[in-house]
């Protein structure tokens, strides 16, 4: 199965995702430019990377969400294609309407860059199937606009439907109910602020992020 990483002007974590996917699958992913209008044939998994797409003008992820390639990603996600968005990628997915809520400036208005404790809230998604519910991970964050916000009704729905995949185990950025990652209703789209692709090798200081990629790629037949 082929995998792909979307690349926008200002992406700076696309290589991190490419290295992670190649480490897990043994095959280099296809790097897909933001101006492309279609995903390559046979793609079975798409990753939207972190960074500062389009310089974070207007709102983080707002311009990237309207790029030609994202129309194709939204269409294919609606058909069940697994899509993963990390950090700026999470922002892009919310702006594209694939996930509810918004990512606002961090509480305290500071850029946060460090390893954080992350708790697996739902271990029954394709992305979390290699983890145990309640397991605590150590995963790095690096963001300025990672404060997840949604109205109370949406938050209650996310929790009631088991769509909160990860929560922060500590105060990080002011996110509502410490939400760090959510999935869509169908469970094939995950957005999260922490960077699991930066914890896939022991040289990274741990491998807690590797199982996310192993789980979802195993589920879709990589």
Per the annotation, the verdict on 195 as an active-site residue is: yes
Q: Does the pLDDT value for residue 169 go beyond 70?
A: yes
**Residue 50 DSSP SS3:** coil
Render pLDDT for 191-211 as a digit per residue (tens, 0 to 9): 999 999 999 999 888 999 999
Catalytic residue among 13, 34, 143, 195: 195
**DSSP alpha helix (H) spans, the chain:** 14-25, 68-78, 88-95, 152-160, 210-220
pTM of the predicted protein model: 0.95
Per the annotation, the verdict on 197 as an active-site residue is: yes
pLDDT at residue 1, as a whole number: 74
Q: Does the pLDDT value for residue 3 go beyond 70?
A: yes
Catalytic residue among 13, 87, 95, 143: 87
Alpha-carbon separation of residue 132 from 42, 91, 99, 157, 169 (angstroms): 31, 26, 24, 22, 15
Q: Is the dihedral of CA 88, 77, 183, 130 positive or negative?
A: negative
Q: Does the pLDDT value for residue 120 go beyond 80?
A: yes
Render pLDDT for 123-151 as a digit per residue (tens, 0 to 9): 999 999 999 999 999 999 999 999 999 99
Q: Are 188 and 54 in contact (CB under 8 A)?
A: no
pLDDT at residue 86, as a whole number: 98
Render pLDDT for 8-19 as a digit per residue (tens, 0 to 9): 999 999 999 999
Tokens of 81: 């294609």
b/e burial code for range 55-74 (CB count within 10 A of at least 16 → b): ebeeebbbbbbebebbebbb
Averaged over 23-31, what is the pLDDT? 95
Render pLDDT for 36-91 as a digit per residue (tens, 0 to 9): 999 999 999 999 999 999 888 888 899 999 999 999 999 999 999 999 999 999 99
Averaged over 115-129, what is the pLDDT? 97
pLDDT at residue 56, as a whole number: 83
pLDDT at residue 175, as a whole number: 98
pLDDT at residue 150, as a whole number: 98
User: What are the extents of the domains in the chain?
Assistant: 2-220
Class in CATH terms, 2-220? alpha beta
Tokens of 199: 């914890």
Catalytic residue among 34, 95, 143, 197: 197
Average pLDDT, the chain: 95
Q: Are 114 and 138 in contact (CB under 8 A)?
A: no
d(CA 179, CA 10): 26
Alpha-carbon separation of residue 150 from 46, 57, 155, 158, 178 (angstroms): 25, 22, 6, 10, 12
């Amino acid at each position: 199965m082929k995998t792909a990483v979307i690349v926008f002007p200002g992406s700076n974590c696309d290589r991190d995702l490419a290295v992670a996917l190649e480490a897990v699958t043994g095959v280099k992913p296809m790097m897909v430019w933001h101006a492309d209008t279609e995903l390559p044939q046979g793609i079975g998994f798409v990753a939207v990377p972190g960074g500062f797409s389009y310089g974070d003008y207007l709102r983080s992820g707002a311009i990237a969400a309207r790029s030609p390639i994202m129309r194709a990603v939204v269409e294919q996600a609606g058909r069940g294609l697994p899509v993963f968005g990390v950090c700026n990628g999470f922002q892009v997915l919310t702006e594209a309407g694939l996930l509810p809520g918004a990512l606002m400036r961090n509480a305290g208005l500071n850029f946060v860059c460090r390893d954080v404790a992350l708790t697996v809230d739902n271990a029954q998604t394709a992305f979390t199937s290699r983890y145990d519910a309640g397991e605590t991970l150590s995963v790095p964050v690096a963001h300025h606009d990672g404060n997840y916000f949604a109205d109370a009704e949406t938050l209650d729905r996310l929790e009631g439907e088991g769509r909160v995949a990860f929560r922060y185990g500590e105060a990080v950025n002011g996110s509502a109910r410490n939400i760090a990652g959510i999935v869509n209703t169908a469970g094939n789209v995950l957005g999260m602020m922490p960077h699991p692709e930066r914890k896939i090798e022991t040289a990274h200081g741990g491998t807690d992020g590797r199982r996310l990629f192993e789980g979802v790629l195993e589920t879709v037949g990589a």
